[in-house]
A and B are shown apart, each in its own frame.
Chain A
Amino acid sequence: MISPAHYVALAAILFVIGGVGVLIRRNALVVFMCVELMLNAVNLSFIAFSRLHGNLDGQVIAFFVMVVAAAEVVVGLAILTSIFRTRKSASVDDASLLKY
């Protein structure tokens, strides 16, 4: 017997993997992809809870999350290309001018 808890557990695991990826990877593109993984995991739990409650509100919220994630990716990747243009590097360690 499968329950929404299965999906929520999977969403938790994927979220943690994405978070660890954000912490340990230093290529900015990969960091972005891990953020996308976390957003997707949250969407999965939203849909699982939507099914648990028997209404569609969770699906609407997941839809909005997708829209916001798409906007975030567009702006983030534009920032990444402009950083790459000046630094010739996609590593998050190299964008450290504000640190000093």
Chain B
Amino acid sequence: MSHQLLLASPGSNFTELAAWWILAIVAVGAALGMIFTRRAVHCAVLLAVVMLILAAMYAMQGAPFLAFVQVIVYTGAVLMLFLFVMMIVGISSADSIIETIRGQRFWAALAGIALLILLVVAVGHAAIGPAAPSGPRNSSANVTDLAALIFTKYVFPFEVTSALLITAALGAMVLAHRERTGPKPTQRMLSRQRIASGRPAPLPGPGTYARHNAVDMPALLPDGSTSRLSVSGVLASREAGRQGVATAELLEPGEPVQIIEAGPDEDADDQPADLDELDEEKL
């Protein structure tokens, strides 16, 4: 029985206190890191740490069902959704350091400290006693008790929850749906376009040199020059962005590293390289 394993025995208060201290320090550290780290991905990883620690704390407090739900729903689903959106928005999206409102950080920190003092004083004055001896902690049937409660006393909120979930799913579909502005290009249109462009053949594949077995190397043409079209525009701009050493040293002296020839309308919508440049500008 997994939930029995998760429940600490009643006499192990010292163990729980030690575990609480360790977990609490790590959780507060990770939460502080969340607001100080600048990259959104680091923030997500630190949030995962906090959520897993909270799951452990739920288990310590006799809530094994919620501990598992926390891991599955929060760390598994919600955080993965965050990471997916981060892929769309740009993995390296970082905050800018410039304050748009003067003194915003100072006042925010002051308000935070004030709220913390308020809450700590409130909790300190509340005289929260020890846990009830016959609480859910000693119950070995947490899941069945919870199910009985949900389907008897809380059955109406539970049903309303289903309406909420359906509404949320519909809303997400409506909001994330992109209306097609033009007609969908047929195969005939595409092939006409390709013939009319003067390049009926597909673009050349990436070249792989003996020294660098990588796709960001441009292909060699029969006359010995390199083909700009052989490198994906994403890779080319990323390479140019970090002053690609490998590409530059293998190119002809007169050949610039800029290999971007993709039209602006080809993949302008979701091209991560563009986003990187945007973010660099913002910094």
A residues within 8 Å of B by Cβ?
Answer: 1-10, 12-21, 23-27, 29-30, 32-34, 36-37, 40, 43-44, 47-48, 50-57, 59-60, 62-64, 66-75, 77-82, 84-85, 88-91, 93
Contacts and interface: CB of A to CB of B under 8 A. Distances in A.
A17 B104 contact: no
9 contacts: A12-B123, A29-B43, A33-B82, A40-B51, A60-B150, A60-B154, A64-B157, A67-B161, A69-B78
B211 interface: no
A71 B65 CA distance: 20
B214 interface: no
Interface in B85-102: 85-86, 88-90, 93-96, 100
B5 to A, nearest CB: 18
A53 B135 CA distance: 7
A1 B17 contact: yes
Judged by DSSP, the binding face of A is helix
A69 B79 CA distance: 12
B181 interface: no
A65 to B, nearest CB: 10
Contacts of A9: 120, 123
A64 B85 CA distance: 24
B62 A25 contact: no
Contact of B269 (A21, A79, A85): A85
Contacts of A54: 131-136
A52 B175 CA distance: 42
A4 B65 contact: no
B234 interface: no
A69 to B, nearest CB: 7
Most B CB contacts (10 A, CB to CB) among A72, A74, A79, A88 go to A74
B219 interface: no
A75 B85 CA distance: 12
Interface in B55-101: 57-58, 61-63, 65-66, 69-70, 73-74, 77-78, 81-82, 85-86, 88-90, 93-96, 100
A58 B171 CA distance: 29
B140 to A, nearest CB: 13
B34 A33 contact: yes
B169 A8 contact: no
B180 to A, nearest CB: 13
Contact of A80 (B28, B89, B153): B89
B203 interface: no
B40, B86, B134: most-surrounded residue (chain A CB, <10 A): B40
A66 B51 CA distance: 12
Given A8-B128, A52-B129, A64-B157, A81 B176 contact: yes
Given A2-B20, A24-B105, A60-B146, 6 more contacts: A2-B13, A12-B119, A29-B85, A30-B95, A51-B136, A52-B132
Interface string B139-156: 000100110011001100
B116 A16 contact: yes
A7 to B, nearest CB: 7
Nearest to B35: A21
B262 interface: no
Given A1-B13, A88-B278, A12 B89 contact: no
Given A20-B35, A90-B90, A63 B128 contact: no
